[in-house]
């Protein structure tokens, strides 16, 4: 029985529809789905908050997000989606940012996005907001709900379950570039404080911004999160390159810290050298897909991407 199970795992994936190859399904996963398929999935899920937000992310149909905002204003998934995907110029953006903090108080990302609104006009207030959440452990965009719903949607249109699950991992973390923008504004504030003789205030601001960047460069973070976190850390270090002493909030010299960040960026670029379609083509059987999903859940995106690249490089 064990040998039979092993043989099954290493068989090529059999698509649910006879005229579709694995490559056909992967191409479909890369394309936006619209129309009757989306409507049917939404109706099957009762047009709840998760399904509406998930289909908005998949299709970029803002009518679906507006429906979620109208029907589920107290849902943190809806709140986070508005804040992470809509423009700050939207009239009610600040209201949704404040609502996300209210309903998700232990989530550092909610506080970061709220603080980013203050960074330009009230940098001192933004710094205090960042300092207040330095000890929070939660930092998530609730993307897990989206992955579950996206996988279910793919299965609803006939995609084989292992392919649907793997394809649902290919969508990146929502754009959080505004954090980098607020980091620059707060770094400017810290520099101004330093020039005015307020070294303590400058270091406090720099430490808070550095902690925000470091939260995105943890071992199990996604590649995109690391690509956000490393530049934020570099923004802080830039103002201390000429310092005679190591700042109290750093555990090593600025030069050593910068070298480690440069090495991390080089590694990240190497991991991103293959696009998502090429990556999925390398996972040609059930066993590979299951190992991919296991590594993703236990080790994180960077680790699983390194494993996929090794498989691709080893292929003839």
> What confidence tens digit (pLDDT) does each residue in 14-37 have?
444 445 665 666 666 666 666 888
Q: What structural domains does the chain harbor? A: 33-159 (1.25.40), 177-265 (no CATH), 273-316 (no CATH)
Surface-to-core class of residue 150, CB atoms within 10 Å of its CB (0-12 exposed, 13-18 middle, 19+ buried): buried
Residues of the chain with pLDDT under 50: 1-18
The predicted structure's pLDDT at residue 285: 64
pTM attached to this predicted model: 0.75
The per-residue pLDDT for 7 is: 43
- 131: tokens are 């300092």
Per-residue model confidence (pLDDT) at position 274: 57
To the nearest 10 degrees (0 to 180), the angle between helices 199-215 and 223-238 is 160
Three-point CA angle 201, 205, 207, nearest 5°: 115
Residue 268: CB atoms within 10 A of its CB come to 17
Cβ atoms < 10 Å from Cβ of 172: 14
CB count in 10 Å sphere of residue 79: 27
pLDDT in tens, 186-227: 999 999 998 998 989 999 999 999 999 988 887 556 777 788
Give the DSSP H/E element, type plus range, for residue 147.
helix 143-156
pLDDT of residue 92: 80
- Residue 12 confidence (pLDDT): 45
- Give me the count of residues in the chain: 316
| pLDDT above 90: percentage of residues in the chain | 33
């Amino acid at each position: 029985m064990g040998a039979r199970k092993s043989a099954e795992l290493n068989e090529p994936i059999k698509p649910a529809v006879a005229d579709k190859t694995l490559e056909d399904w992967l191409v479909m996963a890369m394309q936006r789905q619209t129309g009757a398929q989306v409507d049917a999935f939404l109706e099957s899920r009762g047009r709840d908050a998760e399904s509406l937000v998930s289909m908005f992310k998949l299709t970029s149909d803002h009518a679906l997000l507006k429906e979620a905002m109208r029907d589920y204003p107290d849902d943190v998934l809806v709140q986070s989606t508005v804040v992470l995907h809509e423009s700050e110029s939207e009239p009610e953006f600040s209201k949704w940012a404040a609502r996300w903090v209210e309903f998700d108080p232990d989530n550092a990302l909610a506080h970061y996005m709220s603080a980013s609104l203050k960074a330009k006009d009230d940098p001192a207030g933004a710094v205090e907001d960042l300092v207040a959440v330095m000890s929070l452990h939660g930092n998530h965009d609730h993307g897990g709900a989206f992955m579950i719903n996206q996988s279910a949607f793919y299965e609803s249109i006939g995609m084989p379950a292992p392919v649907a699950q793997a394809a649902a991992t290919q969508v990146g973390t929502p754009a959080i570039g505004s954090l980098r923008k607020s980091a620059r504004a707060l770094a400017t504030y810290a520099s101004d404080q330093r020039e005015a003789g307020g070294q303590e205030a400058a270091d406090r601001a720099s430490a808070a911004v550095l902690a925000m960047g470091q939260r995105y460069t943890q071992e199990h973070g996604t590649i995109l999160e690391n690509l956000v976190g490393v530049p934020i850390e570099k923004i802080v270090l830039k103002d201390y390159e000429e310092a005679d002493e190591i700042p109290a909030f750093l555990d090593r010299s600025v030069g050593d810290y910068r070298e480690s960040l440069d090495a991390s960026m080089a590694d990240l670029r190497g991991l991103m050298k293959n696009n998502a379609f090429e990556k999925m083509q390398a996972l040609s059987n059930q066993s590979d897909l299951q190992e991919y999903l296991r590594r993703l859940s236990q080790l994180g995106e960077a680790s699983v991407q390194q494993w996929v690249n090794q498989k691709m490089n080893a292929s003839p």
